[in-house]
Amino acid sequence: MVELSTTKDGVANQAEASDRVLQILSEAGRLFATKGYDGTSMRDIAVACGISKSLLYHHFSNKDEIYARVAVGSTLELYLFVRDRIPDGPPSQKIRAFMVATAEYFRRYRWAWIASTTAFWNDPDRHRQKERMTRRDRFEHFLRGLIQEAIDAGEIRKLDVAMTGRLILSSLNWMHRWYNPNKSATPEQIADIFFDMVFNGLRTDGPARPPTIEPPKSPRRKPR
C-alpha cells in the first residue's frame, strides 16, 4: 500500500508517496498510542523504523508534523485505501469489499488507527479537528452511496441510509477496543462475518417472527 500525502484541497500528491512514509506514520502511531505525544521523540521514531534521524527529517520536519499526519492524514489514507479496493459488480458486494478493506487497513496499520482514533477527540488543535471531521464525513458518505446503490438495485429493502451506515461503521470503528491479534480470526474475516450478519440477519429461515411486545397493562384499581 502506498501512502498518499495531500495538498490543501485534499487531492492526493503522488510525488511524495512512499512506503517509507507510511512505515514512519505506522511506527509513530504505535509510539504515540503507547507512550503518548510527549513521551515520544524523533529519535524513538527513527529507531523504531530502523532508519537514521537524518532520513526521518528528510520526510518530516518535526514531530508535530508526524503527529498531524497520523491524526489527520490517516482518515484520508483510509478513504483512498478502501476506495481503491471496491470492485465492479453488485452493490452489496461493494459494501462487503468496503467493510473488508476497512478491516484490512486496521490490521496493517493498527497502531496508527489507534493513535488517530485517540487524537480524533483529544487533539486541542481545532483546525485539525475540523479537517478530520470533514474527511470522516467524506468516508461515511462514500459508504452511504454504496448503501443507496444496493437499495436502488433492489438488493436490500428500503432503509434509513444514514442509520445503516452508522451501524456498519460502528461495528468496524470499535474493533480496536476488543480485537486480539493473537486470536485466529483476522480483522478481514471478522468484517466478513459482520457483513453476513448485517445482510442476512440473525434468525433462521422460516416463518418465525420477532416477538410482539405488548404495552404494560395499567394496574386495576380496587373498588372502594
Q: Hey, is 51 helix, strand or coil?
A: coil
Structural domains present in the chain: 5-200 (1.10.357.10)
Q: How far apart are CA 104 and CA 95, in angstroms?
A: 14
Q: Which of 31, 141, 146, 13 is nearest to 73 (CA)?
A: 13
pLDDT in 10s for each residue of the chain, 224 residues: 333 333 333 333 433 446 788 789 888 988 887 888 888 999 999 999 999 999 999 999 999 889 888 877 677 788 889 999 999 999 999 999 999 999 999 888 777 777 777 666 556 566 666 777 777 889 999 999 999 999 999 999 999 999 999 999 999 988 888 888 888 799 999 999 999 999 888 777 655 554 444 555 555 555 55
Reading the block at residue 12, the C-alpha cell is 492526493
Q: Report pLDDT for 8.
A: 35
Q: Are 111 and 33 in contact (CB under 8 A)?
A: yes
Helices and strands per DSSP (H, E), number in the chain: 10, 2
pTM > 0.85: no
